[in-house]
Amino acid sequence: MYKCTHCGVLACIDEHPESTPKNCPMISEGLLEDSFSEYEKDENKNFHIKSTEIEAAGYGQWPRVREIVEFSKSMKYKKIGIAFCLGLHEEAKILDRILVDAGFDTISVICKTGGTAKEKIGISDDRKVRPGTFEPICNPIAQAKLLNEQQSDFNIVVGLCVGHDSMFYKYSDAMVTTLIAKDRVLAHNPAGAIYCSNGYFKSKISDKQ
């Protein structure tokens, strides 16, 4: 089983590595070659090159939102989809303005589109955030299909929930990037829990003490 997380050798960042760990995934030469034949496909080739170039172009200078704008310009995208969470409506509106100012057409779809009660998918009242009230489901498949219908060139996720984001990625026809990863506790900075995982957040990360 591969465990790059535990590797102290990092032969993969060495131009002429002297040795690799025993369980290094780089021993799978066939698989690595296969991934290059995928990069060569028309649907991936330019996308991969541009994403690699954008990393260097604004390295340490551009915030992620600027990287998304510059990347989208370099890909010559015209129509950008925004799939956003109700809880980040304001942030999505600001993103929309930034994209329009940069010359893009935008389409945006909120997570609650459809206004469908949670009961419809079998969620009982006691498993709602606020029992006794009407709570609509998040509807990531519809978000993706609505953006597909509008033929967005590229989609941006703004704060979709864990799992709902995965379904959006699965059903989106266009490639997707995430601007904001939702974290209701940490002002959408999930890395904060990792940084404090041995301290203040230890008891919040797991039930095990």
When the beta carbons of 14 and 119 are compared against ligand SF4, the nearer one is 14
DSSP characters for 69-80? HHHHHHTT--EE
Angstrom CA distances, 162 to 35, 121, 136, stand at 28, 17, 17
When the beta carbons of 1 and 121 are compared against ligand SF4, the nearer one is 1
**What is the distance between the alpha carbons of residues 35 and 32, in angstroms, rounded to a whole number?**
5
Work out how close the CB of 39 gets to ligand SF4 at its nearest, in angstroms, rounded to a whole number. 18
The H-or-E segment that residue 39 falls in is: helix 29-39
When the beta carbons of 26 and 175 are compared against ligand SF4, the nearer one is 26
**What is the distance between the alpha carbons of residues 105 and 120, in angstroms, rounded to a whole number?**
34
Work out how close the CB of 32 gets to ligand SF4 at its nearest, in angstroms, rounded to a whole number. 10
Interacting residues toward ligand SF4 by CB under 6 A: 4, 7, 9-12, 20-21, 24-26
When the beta carbons of 12 and 100 are compared against ligand SF4, the nearer one is 12
Note whether 75 and 53 are within 8 A (CB).
no
Neighbours of 107 (CB within 10 A): 17
Amino acid 199 reads G
Work out how close the CB of 23 gets to ligand SF4 at its nearest, in angstroms, rounded to a whole number. 7
Work out how close the CB of 27 gets to ligand SF4 at its nearest, in angstroms, rounded to a whole number. 9
Work out how close the CB of 19 gets to ligand SF4 at its nearest, in angstroms, rounded to a whole number. 9
When the beta carbons of 20 and 106 are compared against ligand SF4, the nearer one is 20
Residue nearest ligand SF4, CB atom distance: 7
**What is the distance between the alpha carbons of residues 176 and 100, in angstroms, rounded to a whole number?**
18
